[in-house]
Amino acid sequence: MKKVLEGSHAVAEAVRLARVQVISAYPITPQTHIVEILSDYVTTGKMDAKYLRVESEHSCMAALIGAQSTGIRTFTATSSQGLALMHELLHWASGARLPIVMAEVNRALAPGWNIWNDQTDSLAQRDTGWIQLYCEDGQEVLDTTIQAYRLAEIVNLPAMVVLDAFYLSHTYEPVDVPDQDEVDRFLPPYKPAFILDTKHPYSLSPLVTPNAYMEMRYDIAMAMDDALGQFDRVEEEFAMIFDRRYGAVEAIDCDDADIVFVTSGTVTSTGRLLLEELRPRGEKVGVLKIKLFRPFPVEAVRRALGKAKKVVVVDRNFSFGASGIFAQEVRAAICNVPGHPPIFGYIAGLGGRDITVQLLEEIYFDVKGSATPRKESIWVGLQEVNRAT
């Protein structure tokens, strides 16, 4: 049924439809609407679940590790500082092979205090062994959350559904909310092989010496590689029932494009408007949306960017001392392709500053007029900065 929902509400609906049994969360702006709705669903019996009102994000993830290890489906949502506090246990969740699903609302890290949109929080967790899925609109948020359970439970790895603060979490859009029986057809009950069970007493996550640790890590690496193919399979199954699919990447007008923008999150929508603006003026521009960030879809990125003369990566994040993080990943993906196009890295929109069509257009003409990148990262829309000495 079509409803007009906030992005946050779309997440909550998906969690309800996924028949999650334990939810734990600690409030942080701009994640709060998600967990307030879920708390209400549990209280009013719309969901048959427990809601653990824990005293920190760290305890939240620990509680989910305990609950998921007991053999049931779990959920949390967080953002920024909260995700950073969870960091230790993000590694634990993947190492323990627990398919926990989390919604992560991209918000800037302090200081200074800033509640607005920025991707550095989730991208700083890229090495924790979590699948990461970046969403563009409310429908995609709902669909991806349901798919995340299916994918995570196939490969036994946790998954993070990432949505932009406010631009997506607090924006109302028409969203098709599927029926429970349709979702049940897509998402079977969770049946893990090893759980805490007094009839079959296993010791989970014990001490592991050097003669076994590396094999366990290799197994995680194989599972993450497997997730790439499984993602396509899950999307295929989802499309059969719901007639919607997104792709690990989406190449928009890339086939004949000289210049391709690489985007993620809601900036992709702005990129779509840029194409509407520039294509009629004869500019050969395309957009490559990256949805699946971990595992990184290297082959798909190579295919989509192979014909471009120049590639522009717009990063709403930054790794100090290096560059924009998507730019790093794209460079790494195509560096071994002979004659690959130059990568122009642009940093924009940090801490919730708007990325407009006009800004993308400025970037486009800047790139068009440059044979090679002036710098590894070009920060756009900057006011004059007085550097502290």
Q: Which of 212, 371, 385, 388 binds other proteins (CB under 8 A)?
A: 212
Residues 61-90 that bind other proteins (CB under 8 A): 62-72, 74, 88-89
Q: Which residue has the tokens 């993906």?
A: 333
Residue range at the interface with other proteins (CB under 8 A); choices 57-65, 233-241, 269-277, 360-368: 57-65
* CA 363 to centroid of chain Cα atoms: 25
CB of 25 to other proteins, least distance (A): 12
Q: How many CA atoms are closer than 13 Å to the CA of 315, on its beta-carbon side?
A: 28
Q: Which of 4, 110, 204, 337 binds other proteins (CB under 8 A)?
A: 204
| 236-266: burial string, b at 16+ Cβ within 10 Å, e else | eebeeebeeebebbbbbbbeebebbbbbbbb
309 sits near other proteins (criterion: CB under 8 A)? no
CA–CA separation, 1 vs 367, rounded Å?
Answer: 44
Residue range at the interface with other proteins (CB under 8 A); choices 38-46, 161-169, 199-207, 297-305: 199-207
CB of 3 to other proteins, least distance (A): 28
| H or E stretch covering 34 | helix 32-44
CB of 71 to other proteins, least distance (A): 7
In contact, 54 and 25? CB cutoff 8 Å: yes
380 sits near other proteins (criterion: CB under 8 A)? no
- Give how far Cα 317 sits from Cα of 16, 128, 325, 353, Å: 31, 18, 7, 12
- C-beta closer to other proteins: residue 193 or 207: 207
Shortest CA distance to 301 belongs to which of 260, 265, 258?
260
In contact, 99 and 334? CB cutoff 8 Å: no
- List the structure tokens of 26: 């600690």
203 sits near other proteins (criterion: CB under 8 A)? yes
Residue range at the interface with other proteins (CB under 8 A); choices 47-55, 344-352, 357-365, 379-387: 47-55
Q: Which of 207, 335, 371, 388 binds other proteins (CB under 8 A)?
A: 207
In contact, 23 and 187? CB cutoff 8 Å: no
CB of 4 to other proteins, least distance (A): 32
CB of 207 to other proteins, least distance (A): 4
Residues 7-36 that bind other proteins (CB under 8 A): 21-22, 24
Q: Is the peptide bond before 295 cis (omega within 30 degrees of 0)?
A: yes
- C-beta closer to other proteins: residue 70 or 171: 70
Per CB under 8 A, residues contacting other proteins are 21-22, 24, 48-50, 52-56, 58-60, 62-72, 74, 88-89, 92, 196-198, 200-209, 212
